[in-house]
Amino acid sequence: MMCLQEIKCKDLGSHEIFKMWGSNEIEWVVNGNVNNAGGVITMWRKSCFHLSTVFNGSNYSIIAGEWRLEDPIQTVVVNIYNTGSVLEKKAIWGEVREKRSMINTNVWCVVGDFNSIRCPGERRNVGCNVDHNSEMRRFNEFIKSSELIDLPMLGRKFTWYKPNGLIKSRIDRFLVSREWLDRWSDSKYRVLDMAVSDHCALVLDTVTVDWGSKPFCCLDVWHKDNRFREFVRNRWLSYEIQGGGLFVFKEKLKLLKADLKEWNKEVFGNVFQQGDEIQKRIHELDAKDDESELDEVGREERKWLLAELRSNNLSQEAIYQQKARIKWLKQGDLNTKYFHSTIKWRRARNGFNGVRDNGVWYENQGEVKDKVRMYFKERFSGDDRLSVKLDNASFNRISEEDNIGLVGRISDEEVKEAVWSCDSDKSPGPDGFNLALSSYVGRR
């Protein structure tokens, strides 16, 4: 699919459109310009997308249809061009937000030239006045109220450049719904080099790249399972490692990590799958109750299942909260949807998608690993000579008392107090163990 903005053409014939695409195996929707300004066109390959609904607004098009995949999925794509008018932007955002609430399909992608930024850092060499700040606030409110997520951008920091190259902005972007990321979790877009237009073309990529095994993470919810403490205690005492205290502690954690992965898979299980199975059984009992009233055994089973479902929901929410790294919300507030959206946003923002080396962008898995390996190899294989000179540099000085406190010997009690006082869900190192477990096994 291809979305073009500011086409500045009222009528486009099939010959021009086939020429732009490169073949005639396509369908399209044109929303023509007004007074030689604006206008958008959306094109797609007929074999990949089946159109069901079209709505053309002022300088935007909404198309709804089905992606013809192995598992067909209903999708809405919005192609937007915003002019510089604040009133027009506000009107278009309001209309799109209204359509978002009216259309049943939840998988949305909103793309285009929004002619607006989200923060001052997305614009260079242009001052931000009161009007700009108000526009940024309205744009962010539109994204939030429409429950859309701003995808990460690769390749460049800006998408529009003035001919002099000094003034630049990030005004083109992809916004997607949480349901879109449920289907294509690794979605991101690349900014291509400029050609004829003063805008850079954007390419959306939904391909999932396997970078290898995922790092271990100790889940807080494990500590609420009575079997967990007993398992950790027994396994910890069973390890026979010889050596110094810290070496023994490190090696035992390494062995425990492997055992916990197996315990999580074989004993604790997938709480999300368990929740689906519980709900399925409850629905079966409800259907049976509709046909003929449940007997005492059936009523007791349903009562037990409802209690299990409540416990399962709390476990799911605890996992979402930990992955979302939200500290200011309490578990039990049923913020699962918020946690889920935050996780998707964090994954999209922190995802490793490629590297740029000497102006060349690399995405191939093997090439990226080689570039990263070479970078750190060169980084840590330099000579030992100090390349930074501090001649005539002036520094602030600390008091003698503070200096003694810094260079003095650290007691075991200070270390213990620092560790025990940390939040239990914090991981002090890259091994994935949080302090709840570290302090627990460290006492033994």
Q: Where are the alpha helices (DSSP H) in 1-82?
A: 14-21
pLDDT of res. 328: 45
Q: Where are the alpha helices (DSSP H) in 239-291?
A: 245-263, 271-291
Total domains in the chain come to 1
pLDDT of res. 21: 83
pLDDT of res. 332: 45
Q: Is there a domain that residue 49 lies in?
A: yes
In angstroms, what is the C-alpha Rg of the chain? 28
Q: Is there a domain that residue 68 lies in?
A: yes
155: its two tokens: 């390749």
Q: Is there a domain that residue 231 lies in?
A: no
Q: What is the pLDDT of residues 4-16, one digit of tens each?
A: 988 776 667 788 8
- For 89, other C-beta atoms within 10 Å of its C-beta total 21
One-letter amino acid at 365 equals Q
Q: Give the separation between CA 309 and CA 286, rounded to whole angstroms.
A: 15
Q: 360-362 and 153-154 as β-strands: parallel, antiparallel, unpaired? A: unpaired
221: its two tokens: 């919810």
Contacts of 194 (CB under 8 A, 6+ apart): 161, 200
Q: Is there a domain that residue 232 lies in?
A: no
Using 70 as the pLDDT threshold, list the residues of the chain that sit under it: 9-11, 33-38, 127-131, 208-213, 323-353, 382-388, 423-432, 436, 438-444
- For 179, other C-beta atoms within 10 Å of its C-beta total 16
Q: 172-177 and 108-113 as β-strands: parallel, antiparallel, unpaired? A: antiparallel
pLDDT of res. 382: 65
**Of 35, 14, 38, 206, residue with least CA distance to 112:** 38
Q: Is there a domain that residue 430 lies in?
A: no
Q: What is the pLDDT of residues 124-148, one digit of tens each?
A: 887 655 567 888 999 999 999 998 9
Q: Is there a domain that residue 366 lies in?
A: no
In this structure, what CATH number is given to the domain that contains residue 194? 3.60.10.10
Q: Give the separation between CA 218 and CA 224, rounded to whole angstroms.
A: 13
Q: Which domain holds residue 124?
A: 2-205
pLDDT of res. 42: 93
Q: Is there a domain that residue 83 lies in?
A: yes
Q: Give the separation between CA 134 and CA 288, rounded to whole angstroms.
A: 57
- For 239, other C-beta atoms within 10 Å of its C-beta total 14
pTM tops 0.85: no
Q: Is there a domain that residue 403 lies in?
A: no
Are the CB atoms for 221 and 319 separated by under 8 Å?
yes
Are the CB atoms for 347 and 339 separated by under 8 Å?
no
Angle subtended by helix axes 336-350 and 296-324, to nearest 10? 40
